[in-house]
């Protein structure tokens, strides 16, 4: 009896809760592939966007996730980039939440990795030798922002 009553309430009032535009989220995913003239893949770019459907000063937001992988003509990775941005009043007060950029040697091992947090307030750089061993780690904290 309780299950039937609960089901009846959900069916009766469910459309009123789901039609509220403030709670809806619009999600989009775009994938773009660039090719060399010989037909091999040059880069793959994937962008994911989540955005609130209705405009409200308290709960309006937009989040982007950007991922890019760049290859050379032989098919080896040259660079990967991951970037997360947001426009919102919730959470930290920054647009560029995280960005990770990694460069590779032609052998496929890491050459350089850079992590940036919260509008480049904190940046960590790592440099590697051709064998893949860490040779330099630098942490930069910007206190002027």
* Domain ranges within the chain, ordered by starting residue: 24-141
Per-residue pLDDT tens for 82-94?
A: 999 888 766 667 7
Taking the domain 24-141, which CATH number applies? Answer: 3.90.930
Element (H, E) at 98: strand 96-104
User: Which pTM was predicted?
Assistant: 0.75
Per-residue pLDDT tens for 31-87?
A: 999 999 999 999 999 999 988 887 666 667 788 999 999 999 888 999 999 999 888
The rounded distance, in Å, linking the Cα atoms of 102 and 100 is: 7
CA distances 30 to 48, 61, 69, 83, Å, are 6, 19, 14, 15
């Amino acid at each position: 009896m309780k299950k039937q009553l609960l089901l009846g309430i959900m069916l009766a009032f469910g459309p009123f809760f789901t039609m509220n535009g403030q709670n809806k989220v619009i999600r989009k995913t775009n994938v773009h592939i660039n090719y060399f003239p010989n037909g091999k893949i040059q880069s793959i770019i994937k962008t994911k966007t989540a955005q609130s459907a209705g405009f409200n000063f308290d709960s309006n937001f937009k989040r982007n996730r950007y991922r890019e992988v760049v290859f050379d003509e032989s098919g080896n990775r040259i660079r990967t980039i991951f970037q997360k941005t947001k426009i919102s009043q919730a959470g930290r007060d920054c647009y560029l939440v995280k960005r990770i950029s990694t460069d590779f040697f032609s052998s496929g091992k890491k050459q350089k990795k850079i992590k940036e947090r919260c509008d480049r307030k904190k940046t960590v750089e790592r440099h590697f030798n051709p064998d893949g061993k860490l040779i330099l780690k630098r942490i930069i904290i910007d206190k002027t922002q």
